[in-house]
């Protein structure tokens, strides 16, 4: 199953016999509780206009736990996550389409969590809300409660030790901006730089100017150029496990399975005993 869906395909499915549940996960980095950043109100944006029938999901409150030593967006309590999904009408046998304001990061976080916890049919609207040419609504729907019960996956998740090991034995991609990887700037976390052995692979380079993903063949070529192959496992991290989920999604579009280090740099850099590499090279 494709991990993304176009706006035209979504319009067709919404008019069909088994329309997908729609989740609106509008989020920006300013919602990450970083000191000094003005808050972005995703719920207000949702109330101003959303896809018909879509339910708002709060990334900070429902797709993550409180920030701490495990990172700025650690895994949510599965009971909290499950309750949020059922409130939104998500059932195990019903397809789900997730979208955000266009960057794709918030939607990808929801996509990854649903897939990792066992939902078999979830896709991201390619290009997000800006790609939608149909009507919007301001009414808040009250869908019938769903039955989805999330279960922690047995694969696809890395912790700090696993990320370090994968950087040595496979390919660990750093989805952040290049200047953060190199340690030239670090606006949020305690220290700049990257996990030793990780390869710089900004997830912003996986999309075109319109926010839609590059074709699968181009994505595959890009990742191959970064050292990804069928012979070694692939992992991804970012600042706090959000933009990294977007890179995992790009890899899925290219047909490449990858694990996500959810704690990411915000967890790694919180421990002064963990090594830090700086500069343009992995080591």
Same structural domain for residues 97 and 167?
A: no
* Residue 243 covered by a domain: yes
Same structural domain for residues 113 and 189?
A: no
What is the Cα–Cα distance from 194 to 68, expressed in whole angstroms?
19
Q: What pLDDT, in 10s, does the model give residues 23-76? A: 999 998 763 444 555 678 999 999 999 999 999 999 999 999 999 999 999 999
Read off the pTM: 0.96
Q: What is the pLDDT of residue 14?
A: 97
Q: What is the pLDDT of residue 31?
A: 37
Q: What is the pLDDT of residue 33?
A: 47
Same structural domain for residues 125 and 63?
A: yes
Q: Is residue 279 annotated as a catalytic residue, yes or no?
A: no
Which tops the pLDDT comparison, 34 or 283?
Answer: 283
* Residue 103 covered by a domain: yes
pLDDT at residue 78 greater than cutoff 50? yes
Q: What pLDDT, in 10s, does the model give residues 136-195? A: 999 999 999 999 999 999 999 999 999 999 999 999 999 999 999 999 999 899 999 999
The string of DSSP codes covering 153-176 is -SSSEE-HHHHHHHHHHSEEEE-S
**Closest listed residue to residue 104, CA positions, set 248, 264, 237:** 248
Tokens 């207000």 belong to residue: 44
State the chain's mean pLDDT as an integer.
Answer: 95
* Structural domain harbouring 41: 4-131
CATH number for 100: 3.40.250.10
Q: What is the pLDDT of residue 37?
A: 56
What is the Cα–Cα distance from 278 to 283, expressed in whole angstroms?
8
Last residue of a domain, one of 97, 131, 165: 131
Question: Which residues, in sequence order, are bridge partners of residue 200?
Answer: 174
28-37, 97-106, 204-213, range with the lowest pLDDT: 28-37
> Under a CB-based contact definition with an 8 Å cutoff, are residues 215 and 153 in contact?
no
* Residue 213 covered by a domain: yes
Last residue of a domain, one of 131, 166, 184: 131
23, 124, 167, 238: the catalytic one is 238
Q: What is the mean pLDDT of residues 80-85?
A: 98
pLDDT bracket for residue 266 (50, 70, 90):
very high
Q: What pLDDT, in 10s, does the model give residues 113-150? A: 999 999 999 999 999 999 999 999 999 999 999 999 99
* Residue 140 covered by a domain: no
End-to-end CA, the chain? 37
What is the Cα–Cα distance from 131 to 119, expressed in whole angstroms?
25
Same structural domain for residues 184 and 262?
A: yes
Q: What is the pLDDT of residue 29?
A: 78
DSSP E strand boundaries for the chain: 4-5, 21-24, 55-56, 96-99, 122-125, 157-158, 171-174, 199-200, 234-237, 259-261
Query: Which tokens go with 11?
Result: 């319009």
Same structural domain for residues 107 and 176?
A: no
Same structural domain for residues 30 and 69?
A: yes
- Tally of domains within the chain: 2
Residue 273 CB burial class (10 angstroms; 0-12, 13-18, ≥19): exposed
């Amino acid at each position: 199953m494709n991990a993304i869906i176009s706006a035209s395909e979504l319009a067709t499915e919404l008019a069909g016999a088994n329309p997908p549940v729609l989740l609106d996960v509008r989020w920006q980095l300013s919602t990450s509780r970083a000191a000094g950043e003005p808050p972005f109100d995703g719920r207000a944006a949702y109330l101003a206009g959303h896809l018909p029938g879509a339910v708002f999901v709060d990334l900070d409150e429902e797709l993550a736990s409180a920030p701490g030593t495990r990172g700025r967006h650690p895994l949510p309590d599965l009971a909290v996550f499950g309750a949020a999904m059922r409130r939104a009408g998500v059932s195990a046998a019903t397809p789900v389409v997730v979208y955000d304001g266009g960057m794709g990061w918030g939607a990808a976080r929801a996509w990854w969590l649903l897939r990792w916890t066992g939902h078999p049919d979830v896709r991201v609207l390619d290009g997000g809300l800006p790609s939608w040419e149909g009507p919007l609504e301001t009414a808040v729907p009250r869908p019938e409660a769903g039955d989805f019960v999330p279960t922690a996956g047995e694969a696809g998740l890395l912790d700090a030790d696993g990320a370090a090991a994968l950087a040595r034995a496979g390919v660990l991609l750093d989805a952040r901006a290049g200047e953060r990887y190199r340690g030239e700037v670090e606006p949020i976390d305690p220290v700049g730089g990257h996990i030793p052995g990780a390869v710089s692979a900004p997830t912003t380079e996986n999309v075109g100017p319109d926010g839609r993903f590059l074709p699968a063949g181009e994505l595959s070529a890009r990742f191959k150029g970064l050292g990804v192959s069928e012979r070694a496992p692939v992992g991804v991290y970012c600042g706090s496990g959000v933009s990294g989920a977007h890179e995992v999604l790009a890899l899925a579009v290219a047909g490449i399975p990858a694990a996500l280090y959810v704690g990411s740099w915000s967890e790694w850099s919180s421990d002064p005993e963990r090594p830090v590499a700086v500069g343009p090279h992995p080591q």
